[in-house]
Structure 1
Amino acid sequence: MSVIGTKVKPFTAQAFKNGEFVEVTDKDFKGQWTILCFYPADFTFVCPTELEDLQEQYATLKEMGAEVYSCSTDTHFTHKAWHETSPAIGKVTYTMIGDPSLTLATNFEVLREGQGLADRGTFIIDPDGEIQVAEIHAEGIGRDASALIDKLKAAQYVYNNPGEVCPAKWKEGEETLKPSIDLVGKI
């Protein structure tokens, strides 16, 4: 079953952000755009490269009205230890959610059954708390956070312009489409 178009299910989790432990709930995902990136585990190999890359795009994503969260099934304590020992993770200023209860990984359908780990999942959630983008990668395939910028721009455009859609490779300012019977077979 796809999570696209569904609302974020209720949750409460502990997280690490800027040297402090904070609580995050589903309510934090409402009223703004949210990017949630799951990864398998702290103290691994591809994960720090992805989270560092996400940090490099964080200011741009914030300027676009989006808050960024990373999430693994590790605890918030483990996130703190990783932040203090890894040069890449030490740069991270967005919220790192701990999901040892597996609630979020289950809710977003990225939990690897029997392993207690999450797949690499990226989600863009609109201000109403509805999932607009879901992308899942195998463990060995790292993501490029710069790709989130165009996806977020397209999601925001469609959200703000009902009845219009963004074609492949759409960039901000380019033409969109208005689906109708007149377009059938003409694209």
Structure 2
Amino acid sequence: MSLINTEVKPFKATAFQNGDFVEVTDQTLRGQWSVVVFYPADFTFVCPTELEDLADNYEAFKALGVEIYGVSTDTHFAHKAWHDTSDAIGKVNYPLVGDPTATLARNFDVLIEEEGIALRGTFVINPEGQIKLCEIHDNGIGRDATELLRKVKAAKYVAEHPGEVCPAKWKEGAETLTPSLDLVGKI
């Protein structure tokens, strides 16, 4: 079953953010747009490149009212140690959520049970706590924060403009489509 349009399941976790340990729950994700990015593990290879890319684009997400949450099955203590020792992760100002019990990874259906790590899963969640975008792929394939930012803008646009949809490669300010009988076969 798809997770699209389902509500985020209840959870409570601890994250490392800006030198502190902070609590993050399903309720934390409500009231604003959120991006939850699962990655396999701290102190690895592709993961720091992705998290650094998100850090480099964090202000653009924040300007849209979007919070980012990086999640792995490591503890919040491991996240702090990684933050303190990696130049790439040292740039991260968004919460790095510890999920050592794999509750979140199971809730979002990204856990590789036999390895105890998560697949690369990306979830965009609306202010009501509903999942509006879900991408899961193999752990050898890194993500692109600017493409994710484009998708977040499209999700927000569609939510704010009922009856309109964003075509392929849509960028902010570009034309959208209004599905109707008159449009069938014209594209």
Which bin holds the TM-score, normalised by the shorter protein?
Answer: over 0.9
Give 1:10's aligned residue.
10
Displacement over 6 Å in runs of 4+: none
Note if 1:109 corresponds to 2:109. Answer: yes
Report the TM-score, using the length of structure 2 for normalisation: 0.98
Give the Å deviation of 1:113: 2.1
> TM-score, with normalisation over the residues of structure 1?
0.98
Q: What is the aligned residue count?
A: 187
- 2:153 corresponds in structure 1 to 153
RMSD of aligned Cα (Å): 0.8
Q: Deviations over 1:40-64 (max 9, x none)?
A: 0001011111111110010000001
Structure 2 CA distance for aligned equivalents of residues 15 and 173 of structure 1: 35
| Separation in 2, partners of 1:143, 1:120 | 8
Distance 1:105 1:132 in 2: 17
User: What amino acid is the match of 1:177?
Assistant: L
Q: Which runs of 5+ in 2 are unaligned?
A: none
Distance 1:92 1:40 in 2: 17
CA shift digits 1:58-90 (9 cap, x unpaired): 000000110011000000011011111111111
Q: How does 1:83-122 map to 2 (within 5 A)?
A: 83-122=83-122
Q: Secondary structure at the match of 2:134?
A: strand
Q: 1: CA distance between counterparts of 2:177 and 2:53? A: 32
Q: Could you list the runs of 5+ residues in structure 1 that have no partner in the other structure?
A: none
In 2: Cα distance, 1:10 partner to 1:182 partner: 43
Percent identity of the aligned residues? Answer: 66
Residue 184 (structure 1) aligns with:
184
Q: How far apart in 1 are the matches of 2:149 and 2:14?
A: 27
